[in-house]
């Protein structure tokens, strides 16, 4: 069993499915303690089972990242218990249904802004001191769909999220934390299936293989 005082600590937002799930599982299997955040408690419990089966440990937080009070409480709890964060992997996303720009649903667009942009901005403010204390890394996952037809809500808000991350990256080169931005290969995830129903998934990457590749690069 790892010493909690020296064990690496990773926060994974959007840990219930897809690449977020795979990153959390891989980190847990490598001996990190994983703080797993997602709205779906059942999927988090499945993740916890997988991590424990690999000999790892996790803390589950069934929370909505757009709830700023809940996120502030979480950040405060991390500060009180650990005083630092070694890695924040931000995989949470709202994937609005594809639609022409002239027919965007206002509710879906607002959800996209709230999750993909506003929550990201709030989390950067909350987590920067913890990452700096741990000389840690913030990991963002780009999906460059901006400007593609029918991807108005998702593409615009994801592009804005990455633009924010790139600004943070440039600002923190000397003082930390390190900000890494990776572009995963097309993967066989539920989100992609929503965007491309009926697609032949045989040639798509496995999320767990992509997680291993990305973590190796870090």
CB 148 within 8 A of CB 106: no
pLDDT tens by residue, 154-205: 999 999 999 999 999 999 999 999 999 999 999 999 999 999 999 999 999 9
Q: What number of CA atoms fall less than 13 Å from residue 200's CA on the CB side?
A: 2
Q: Per-residue confidence at 6, pLDDT binned at 50, 70, 90? A: confident
Question: Alpha-carbon distance 150 to 99, whole Å?
Answer: 5
pLDDT tens readout for residues 135-152: 999 999 999 999 999 999
CB 12 within 8 A of CB 74: no
Entry pTM: 0.96
Residue of 196, 212, 208 lying closest to 18 (CA atoms)? 208
Q: With pLDDT > 90 as the criterion, what percentage of the chain qualifies?
A: 96
The C-alpha angle 111, 156, 41, rounded to 5 degrees, equals 35
pLDDT per residue over 7-21, tens digit each? 999 999 999 999 999
Average pLDDT, the chain: 96
CA 45 from centroid of its chain's CA atoms: 17
Q: Is-contact 60 40, C-beta < 8 A?
A: no
Domain 9-217, CATH homologous superfamily name and number: NAD(P)-binding Rossmann-like Domain (3.40.50.720)
Alpha-carbon span 211 to 34, nearest angstrom: 14
User: pLDDT-derived band of residue 4, with 50, 70 and 90 as boundaries?
Assistant: low
Per residue, the 3-state secondary structure of the chain, as one string, reads: CCCCCCCCEEEEECCCCHHHHHHHHHHHHCCCEEEEEECCHHHHHHHHHHHHHCCCEEEEEECCCCCHHHHHHHHHHHHHHCCCCCEEEECCCCCCCCECHHHCCHHHHHHHHHHHHHHHHHHHHHHHHHHHHCCCEEEEECCCCCCCCCEHHHHHHHHHHHHHHHHHHHHCCCCCCEEEEECCCCECCHHHHHHCCCCCHHHCECHHHHHHHHHHHC
pLDDT in tens, 203-214: 999 999 999 999
């Amino acid at each position: 069993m790892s010493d909690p005082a020296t064990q690496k600590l990773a926060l994974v937002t959007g840990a219930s499915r897809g690449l977020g799930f795979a990153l959390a599982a891989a980190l847990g299997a490598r001996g990190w303690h994983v703080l797993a955040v997602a709205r779906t408690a059942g999927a988090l419990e499945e993740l916890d089972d997988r991590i424990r089966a690999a000999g790892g440990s996790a803390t589950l937080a069934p929370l909505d990242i757009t709830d700023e009070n809940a996120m502030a409480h979480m950040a405060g709890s991390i500060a009180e218990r650990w005083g630092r964060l070694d890695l924040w992997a931000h995989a949470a996303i709202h994937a609005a249904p594809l639609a022409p720009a002239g027919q965007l649903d206002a509710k879906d667009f607002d959800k996209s802004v709230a999750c993909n942009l506003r929550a990201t901005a709030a989390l950067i403010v909350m987590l920067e001191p913890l990452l700096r204390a741990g000389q840690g890394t913030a990991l963002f996952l780009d999906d460059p769909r901006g400007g593609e037809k029918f991807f108005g809500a998702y593409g615009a808000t994801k592009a804005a999220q990455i633009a924010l991350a790139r600004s943070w990256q440039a600002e923190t080169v000397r003082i930390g934390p390190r900000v890494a931005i990776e572009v995963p290969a097309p993967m066989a995830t539920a989100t992609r299936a929503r965007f491309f129903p009926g697609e032949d998934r045989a040639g798509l990457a496995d999320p767990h293989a992509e997680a291993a590749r990305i973590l190796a690069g870090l």
